[in-house]
Amino acid sequence: MAAIRNLARFTERAKFLNKCYFTNQNGTLRSFSTNGAIIGLSRETQALVKFGLISTVTGVALGAGYAYYRISETRKNIALDGTELDTVLLEHKPPVTPSRKIMYSVDTTDLKLTLFQYQTCPFCCKVRAFLDYYGISYDIVEVDPVLRKEIGWSSYKKVPILLTQVEGGYRPLNDSSMIVSLLASYLYDKSQTIEEFADYYPSVGMHDENGKFKYEIINKYFLMFNNKLPKNRTMNDIVEERKWRKWVDDVFVHTLSPNVYRTLDESYKTFKWFSTVGKWEEYFPTWERMLIVNVGATAMWLIGKRLKKRHRLKNDVRQSLYDEANYWLRNIKARGTTFMGGNKPDLSDLAVYGILKSIEGCDAFQDLQTNTNIGVWYNAMKEQVDAHSGSTSLSR
């Protein structure tokens, strides 16, 4: 607000200066050339100069505001370093209307879930792949990725957040892998409540090697089996599944952004697809949609380059995407089964499927299909998820 007020004050002053000192009688702006001669500027140039000035001041004000915000956040976070973060139980449901409801007749769970998400966030797609495969109903709240006001009630500022109705209120679950592990454990052993399972996944605040504050969930890949393994699964299967789920989060997912935001043009195309598939026209007013597409596409194109470096992708980022997809496919082939989980998908299949689904409408996905054999596995997964095949393993 202060930045906006300062900008308004500056604009007023600029108008005053414009009137008093820099204009000729006929209203054209005057400035000084390097050799000291006064040149008259056309109205278009005046407009450009004004625009340039205002943009610079806005940029500086926003930059200063952002720097101040980062410093105060870092100060707050240093105090949190290494401490266990409180998990909250909300007495009331946050007053946000669901964007839509996903209802499955095969759902035999008594879960009441609301997913705060971006339709095309890979981590959100991963959670949806899990819920859809098991045929579990849920409400969706589509979050504005720039303003994020729909998750204003949460101190965790990322999506997905899965709000679960529990005794005495609502419990938000943060982090896609933790959500999947917790729900998979709950589906296997309903003798414990969601609240009890949530205690197995404490979260700790810490700083990473770049000094950035991280929200780390301990044990997020662990499934709680109450000392007995699920039918037809060995300990080795469980360990392998965990290894691949971690590979999805630590390696594979990082090949996506630099690919879908590879050029400014590709970035805009990606955001336009996000807008269509996320039904932004339905949920956000035009100005907000324009803001998301324009700010998002430009910012992500720039960020994509940083991510490429940070995750050490090849210069041709497509190749890194193909390499990881082929690594996954080679390992399934070595097993001689349709899925990594055997004849039925396991949580690692659902994770890979979920994150790839998040780029289904992008050029990068088309190229991936053309240049690798991912299509066969992907289509088999699509069939399983769309048919809610996992629901049969839940009915007792």
Ligand X SMILES: N[C@@H](CCC(=O)N[C@@H](CS)C(=O)NCC(=O)O)C(=O)O
* Upper half-sphere CA count for residue 361 (Cβ side, 13 Å): 15
203 contacts ligand X (rule: CB under 6 A): no
Phi then psi for residue 91, to 5 deg, are -70, -40
151 contacts ligand X (rule: CB under 6 A): no
Nearest approach in angstroms of CB 123 to ligand X is 4
159 contacts ligand X (rule: CB under 6 A): yes
| Nearer residue to ligand X within complex by CB, 251 or 376 | 251
The H-assigned helical ranges of the chain are: 2-20, 43-80, 122-133, 176-188, 194-198, 235-250, 256-260, 264-277, 280-283, 286-310, 317-335, 347-357, 363-371, 374-386
Give the number of residues in contact with ligand X, rule: CB under 6 A: 10
Distances (CA, A) of 135 to 84, 111, 381: 34, 11, 14
Nearest approach in angstroms of CB 220 to ligand X is 8
Nearest approach in angstroms of CB 47 to ligand X is 36
Q: What is the DSSP string of 242-282?
A: HHHHHHHHHTGGGGHHHHHTSSHHHHHHHHHHHHHHTTHHH
Site mask for ligand X (CB under 6 A), range 234-273, x = bound: ----------------------------------------
Distance CA 316, CA 294 (A): 25
354 contacts ligand X (rule: CB under 6 A): no
76 contacts ligand X (rule: CB under 6 A): no
Q: Which stretch binds ligand X (CB under 6 A): 9-17, 119-127, 233-241, 279-287?
A: 119-127
Catalytic residues: 118, 121, 123-124
Q: Which residues between 162 and 181 bind ligand X (CB under 6 A)?
A: 175-177
Burial class (CB in 10 A: 0-12, 13-18, 19+), 42: exposed
Nearest approach in angstroms of CB 127 to ligand X is 8
Phi then psi for residue 377, to 5 deg, are -65, -45
Nearest approach in angstroms of CB 109 to ligand X is 21
| Nearer residue to ligand X within complex by CB, 107 or 153 | 153
Q: Which stretch binds ligand X (CB under 6 A): 53-61, 157-165, 297-305, 312-320?
A: 157-165
| Nearer residue to ligand X within complex by CB, 29 or 183 | 183
Burial class (CB in 10 A: 0-12, 13-18, 19+), 390: buried
| Nearer residue to ligand X within complex by CB, 29 or 261 | 261
Cα 266 to chain centroid distance, Å, stands at: 18
Q: Which residues between 120 and 139 bind ligand X (CB under 6 A)?
A: 121-123
Q: Which residues bind ligand X (CB under 6 A)?
A: 121-123, 157-160, 175-177
